């Protein structure tokens, strides 16, 4: 019987030692899980900030495009009005009974035609700005979407990491890291395209 007591004591010590090793390994694993989740949360926060910034840029550029479109429309309307006035002056010059009146109307018609060229240049310049602002808005919106995708994927990865911690499932944690890597790819794309 005394021999059995020694063996039981040794067995108990070995089990305690194994339990301590398992606890240390589990504690280390939970430390890595916590650290990776914190990194995912920081990346999600930065991606969210970038996404919001690019969305704001898209809105500002679109507003500028609308403003310049209004200016371009005004310039085109003015251009057309000058053309109409030039035709009216030319018609009046043809139907004028006095030569001096006809000459005055011809000068007015010529002045309107010359001014009309300047208006056309101004209208085309405003239209070019509209096109530029619309392109900038579309680009900013595209970059915003890349960052928004990364935020969503990072949040899914954080949720999977939490599930891994709650269930003590290392497989779930590895899955969260893989999903987080996909989020990091969209995150990097956002910076590369921005």
In a domain, 123, yes or no: yes
Amino acid 17: pLDDT:
64
Evaluate whether residue 27 is within a structural domain: no
**What is the C-alpha separation between 69 and 133, in angstroms, rounded?**
10
118 found inside a domain: yes
Quick one: residue 139, left, alpha or beta (phi over 0 = left, psi -120 to 50 = alpha)? alpha
Task: Tell whether 19 is covered by a domain.
Answer: no
Task: Confirm whether pTM is higher than 0.85.
Answer: no
Domain total for the chain?
1
Residue 8 lies in a domain: no
Residue 3 maps to a domain: no
Q: What pLDDT was estimated at residue 176?
A: 96
Q: Does residue 17 belong to any structural domain of this protein?
A: no
User: Which residue do the tokens 């194994």 mark?
Assistant: 18
Print the domain residue range for 47.
36-193
Question: Of 53, 48, 43, nearest to 185 (Cα)?
Answer: 43
Amino acid 91: pLDDT: 86
Taking the C-alpha atoms of residue 128 and residue 111, their distance in angstroms, rounded to an integer, is 26
Name residues whose C-beta falls within 8 Å of residue 160's C-beta, 6 or more positions apart in sequence: 172, 173, 175, 176, 179
Task: Indicate whether 14 belongs to any domain.
Answer: no
In contact, 145 and 58? CB cutoff 8 Å: no
The better pLDDT of the pair 74, 95 is held by: 74
Question: Residue 1: its pLDDT value, please?
Answer: 45
Q: What is the pLDDT of residues 104-119, one digit of tens each?
A: 888 888 888 888 888 9
């Amino acid at each position: 019987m005394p021999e059995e007591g020694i063996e039981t004591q040794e067995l108990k010590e070995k089990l305690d030692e194994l339990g301590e090793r398992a606890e240390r390994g589990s504690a280390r694993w939970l430390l890595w899980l916590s650290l990776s989740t914190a990194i995912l949360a920081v990346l999600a926060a930065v991606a969210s900030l970038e996404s919001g910034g690019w969305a704001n840029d898209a809105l500002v550029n679109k507003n500028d495009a609308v403003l310049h479109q209004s200016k371009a429309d005004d310039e085109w309307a003015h251009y057309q009005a000058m053309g109409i006035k030039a035709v009216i002056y030319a018609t009046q010059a043809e139907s004028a009974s006095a030569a001096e009146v006809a000459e005055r109307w011809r000068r007015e018609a010529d002045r309107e035609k010359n001014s009309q060229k300047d208006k056309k240049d101004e209208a085309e310049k405003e239209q070019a700005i509209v096109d530029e602002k619309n392109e900038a808005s579309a680009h900013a919106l595209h970059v915003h979407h890349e960052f928004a995708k990364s935020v969503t994927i990072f949040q899914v990865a954080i949720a999977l990491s939490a599930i891994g911690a709650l269930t003590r499932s290392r497989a779930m944690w590895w899955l969260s890291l893989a999903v987080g890597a996909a989020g990091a790819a969209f995150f990097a794309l956002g910076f590369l395209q921005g």
